[in-house]
Structure 1
Amino acid sequence: MDIRPEKPNDVEAIRGITKSAFASAAHSSQTEPQIIDALRQAGALTISLVATEEDEVLGHVAFSPVTIDGEDKGWYGLGPVSVRPDQQRQGIGERLVRDGLSRLQNMGAMGCVVLGDPGYYQRFGFRTDDRLVFADAPTEYFMRLVFTEPLPSGQVRYHDGFNAS
């Protein structure tokens, strides 16, 4: 399996995988494919990686900038991350996330936030922290990973692309 940046001809596969991966997710608003498209169109899809095997896209992960108290502090949000349903639980998502986090660090990012399952994201070093707040999210599901100190504090806001519908 290879992990590489998305190419223009991957866009339809990314949409399909994202749609099917979130189809039965209780927490999903079913807008994840539109979010990725909106981020891409706005030039805010900082990192967009696909996992491929024999040129077939199996999974995708996105990273985009976030603001903290309305300021760019060099932090990014992870997500959405999706893996084709018939390929889940084989480590593809984990490899995508690890590769993406490594790329963020290499580009000088200060840190990353994620809204997701603590049981999954803690393996990457994500931790809850009451200094970073995301409105309308249960505290235990909003986590941060610090690459470079100091840790900022305040209200985190994802890119407007997350309001896509």
Structure 2
Amino acid sequence: MTSNIKIRNETNNDIAAIAEVTVAAFRDLEISNQTEHFIIDALRAAEVLALSLVAEVDGRVVGHIAFSPVTLSDGTRDWYGLGPISVLPQVQRRGIGQALVREGLSRLKRMQARGCCLVGHPEYYRRFGFENCPQLVFEGVPPEVFFAVSFDGTMPRGTVAFHKAFAAVGRSSRANEV
């Protein structure tokens, strides 16, 4: 299916489809609090979606990935967090998620990003160069599911903070209400 996939920037016309894809993708995941679509809305409202890409197949949005800046306690700048990422359940395991991650990382590099981090499944994200990095910590998250990849060969040290939008639990029209 990867030959049919078109990866592009989100538009305002995609917002409802992104929410639908995200809700469907996380609906049956035990590790989810079912707030991912609220997180995306809050990131968008706060104007911190540095990169928001959709995957289209035959003109239909079937996947989405978001990247937003993270804060590092050592002062390192230009690092981003990956997530949420979602693909409609009926088209998962067909390369759509991989295409979104690869294109997103490629675009981050072109934006002069220095690195990217995420919370995710160990077996999945290593294929993109992500590693567990003991010197980089996301408090409250087990180190075996926190990953980072440096684009410039330098791995920061300290703690990572994702945007406050990741605490979103409901729809908000203003970023400071999350």
Report what 2:40 is aligned to: 36
Q: Tell me, what secondary structure is at the counterpart of 2:70?
A: strand
In structure 2, what is the Cα distance between the partners aligned to 1:50 and 1:72? 29
Count of residues in Structure 1 that have an aligned counterpart in Structure 2: 165
> TM-score w.r.t. structure 1 length?
0.97
> What is the aligned partner in structure 1 of residue 167 from structure 2?
163
> Are the equivalent residues in 2 in contact too, given 1:52–1:58 (CA < 8 A)?
yes
User: Relative to structure 1, is the Cα distance of residues 34 and 72 closer, same or farther in structure 2, using a 3 angstrom cutoff?
Assistant: farther
Whether the aligned pair in 2 keeps the contact of 1:51 and 1:59 (CA below 8 Å) is yes
CA contact (8 A) 1:61 1:82 kept: yes
State which of 144, 147, 151 in structure 1 corresponds to 2:148. Answer: 144
1:60 aligned residue (56, 61, 64): 64
TM-score (normalizing by structure 2): 0.90
- Say whether the 8 Å CA contact 1:66–1:72 is kept in structure 2: no
In 2: Cα distance, 1:49 partner to 1:93 partner: 11
In the alignment, the residues of structure 1 paired with residue 116 and residue 57 of structure 2 have an alpha-carbon distance, to the nearest angstrom, of: 28
1:150 offset after TM fit, Å? 2.3
Cα distance, 1:71 vs structure 2: 3.8
4+ residue segments displaced more than 4 Å: none
Deviations 1:4-46 (A, max 9, x none): 0001010000001100100111111110000000000101100
How big is the shift at 1:146?
Answer: 0.5
What secondary structure sits across from 2:159 in the alignment?
A: strand
Task: Report the more deviating stretch, 113-122 or 47-56.
Answer: 47-56
Matched, 1:133 2:137: yes
**In angstroms, what is the RMSD of aligned CA positions?**
1.0
Letter in 2 for 1:52: E
**How high is the sequence identity, in percent, across the aligned residues?**
50
Per-residue CA shift, 1:32-67, capped at 9, x if unaligned? Answer: 000000000101100000000222101000000000
Residue 149 of structure 1 and its aligned partner are, at CA, apart by 3.2
Give the drift of 1:69.
Answer: 1.0
State how far apart, in whole Å, the 1-side matches of 2:70 and 2:63 are.
Answer: 23
Show structure 2 runs of 5+ residues with no match.
170-178
Q: Which residue does 1:104 correspond to in 2?
A: 108
Unpaired segments of 5 or more residues in structure 1?
A: none
- The Cα of 1:72 is off from its aligned counterpart by 5.6
Do 1:70 and 1:157's aligned partners in 2 also have CA atoms closer than 8 Å?
no
